[in-house]
Amino acid sequence: MIAATYNAAGVLVFVTASTLMLVGALGVIVVKNPVHAAISLIVTLFGVAIAFVAQSADFLAAVQIIVYAGAIVVLFLFVIMFLGVDRRDDVRVEPLVGQRPLALAGVLITIAGLVTLMARSHWVTGATRVSTSGAPLATGQGNVRQLGTAVFTTYLFAFEATAVLLIIAVVGAVLLARRERRVDETLDDELDVEVRS
């Protein structure tokens, strides 16, 4: 009786977490307003946190909520607000000549690098494959140290690449916003001169 109740509760938690993740992910893709897309991303991250709790990975669930749903989505919202959500951009006009071929080349190089890493080394993905010295991560309270060791040894490249990508995204957004503001300020100054004349 207890096992059946536990299995039913586990299925309910799994269905709830999966539903939150799928609905949030679809919301990120489907909605047109970037602020609503960021809120949908928060729903997805909460679903992932619930799935971590169901797997007894309490530390990862807390990090998921504090770091991702808290800090990183707030950073995304800051950049969205900084760039302005009320402007309509013409996507056919390419502000940086050659950016699309360079972006495609960057994606292909990244995919080739990831495939090479997976084929030639012990670098793997997925929580079930995370290990330190061949031993799988322990469940419960003792897995924080093993997780830290895995992040800063086996997964150091992915950890550092994520940090670099976040920094590049923020710096790029700030540079794009500053350049557009300078153009807008120049146009405003020209209009003021014409009005005064």
75 inside domain = yes
Q: What domain range includes position 24?
A: 1-85
Each residue's pLDDT tens digit, 128-139: 444 455 555 555
55 inside domain = yes
At residue 85 the predicted structure's pLDDT band, cuts being 50, 70 and 90, is: low
Count the Cβ atoms, other than its own, within 10 Å of residue 152. Answer: 11
pLDDT at site 27: 92
Give me the amino acid identity at 175: L
Tokens of 46: 């909460």
pTM, two decimals, is 0.53
116 inside domain = no
Residues 130/137, Cβ–Cβ less than 8 Å: yes
194 inside domain = no
Tokens of 196: 């005064």
Domain count, the chain: 1
Each residue's pLDDT tens digit, 131-169: 455 555 555 556 677 777 777 788 888 888 888 888 887
Q: Domain of 12: which CATH number?
A: 1.20.120.1200
72 inside domain = yes
104 inside domain = no
Question: H or E element: which one contains 136?
Answer: strand 135-136
DSSP state of 195: H
169 inside domain = no
Count the Cβ atoms, other than its own, within 10 Å of residue 52. Answer: 20
Q: Distance between CA atoms of 150 and 145, rounded to whole angstroms?
A: 9
78 inside domain = yes
Secondary structure (3-state) at 1: coil
At residue 108 the predicted structure's pLDDT band, cuts being 50, 70 and 90, is: very high
Each residue's pLDDT tens digit, 176-194: 767 655 555 555 555 555 6
